[in-house]
Homo-oligomer: A and B are copies of this chain.
Amino acid sequence: MRFTTESTSSDGTTERDFVLDGVPGVLWTPPGTPTGLVLGAHGGGQHKRAPGAIARAHLCAAAGLAVVTLDSPGHGERPRTAEDDRFITEIRSRITAGRDAGALLAEYNALLAARAIPEWRSVLDTLPDTGVLPGTGATTGFWGTSMGSAIGIPLVAAEPRIRAAVFGLVGATEALTRAAAAITVPVRFLLQWDDQLIARDAGLAMFDAFATRQKSLHANPGGHGEVPEHELPAAVTFLAG
């Protein structure tokens, strides 16, 4: 993990760019010793420094949590493969034509997850040795909705170092259902009641699939991108608790 830049904003949050095995990421740390670490995955078409990712990082930092994020495969500064291009073109054209893109999106997200999971595990292997995050090993959480959940659900299922997770905006598939059945840590699941990309029943089935008894579904009116503001500090409290 090679840190390339470091700056501190007016709220005291320090931001470090890094590259790990060719994958660019950002680490945000609060003033003082962080009380936990959040793995913050972005959604499809977003990147490590999208406005939502930055807002989330500062909210977490204000609660004493460090946040690490990566550009997902084919996103941000990372090159797209020919396969990425084929999927993206076809998904966009289906959405534009008003056709259902759900199954194709799920298929593409599963491919991205297979590429992203080893990258996130590598972050967990490497970050403790950098010395920038003393004492947060036991309290790592995950936060990622939409494509971030398509990556995060199999990641959290495979990764005992992650102790709590915020997921959402994702529908049940066979692979995600199987992964969710292996998740026993506390889960917060966000569902948009009028999600135009995820059928309501598929979202409810996804929540149903988590094996953990400590899970809460928070459903709110609005479309895929309209999670209400109040869910963000509530998710921070959940991860910090």
Binding site for B on A (CB under 8 A): 191, 193, 204, 207-208, 213, 215-222, 228, 230, 234
**Can you give 18 contacting A-B residue pairs, CB < 8 Å?**
A191-B217, A193-B207, A193-B208, A193-B217, A204-B204, A207-B219, A213-B221, A213-B222, A215-B221, A216-B220, A216-B228, A216-B230, A217-B217, A217-B219, A217-B220, A218-B218, A219-B219, A234-B234
Query: Across the interface, do A215 and B208 meet the contact criterion of CB distance under 8 Å?
Result: no
Contacts A193-B208, A204-B204, A208-B193; A217 near B215 (Cβ below 8 A): no
Residues of chain B contacted by A222 (CB below 8 angstroms): 213
Partner of A216, one of B204, B208, B213, B219: B219
| The one of B207, B220, B234 that contacts A215, using a Cβ cutoff of 8 Å | B220
**Chain B residues within an 8 Å CB radius of A220:** 215-217
Chain B proximity of A34: nearest CB distance (Å): 23
Given the contacts A193-B208, A208-B193, A216 and B216 also touching, CB distance less than 8 Å? no
Complex contact A217–B218 (CB within 8 A): yes
A106 to B217 CA separation, bound complex (whole angstroms): 25
Find out whether the CB atom of A216 lies under 8 angstroms from the CB atom of B218: yes
Taken together as a complex, chains A and B put the C-alpha atoms of A207 and B222 apart, in Å, by 14
Chain B residues whose CB sits within 8 angstroms of the CB of A193 once the complex forms: 207-208, 217
CB proximity of A83 to chain B, nearest CB, Å: 37
Report chain B residues within 8 Å CB of A228. 216
Distance in Å: Cβ of A17 to nearest Cβ of chain B: 36
Which residue, A208, A216, A234, has most C-beta atoms of chain B within 10 A? A216
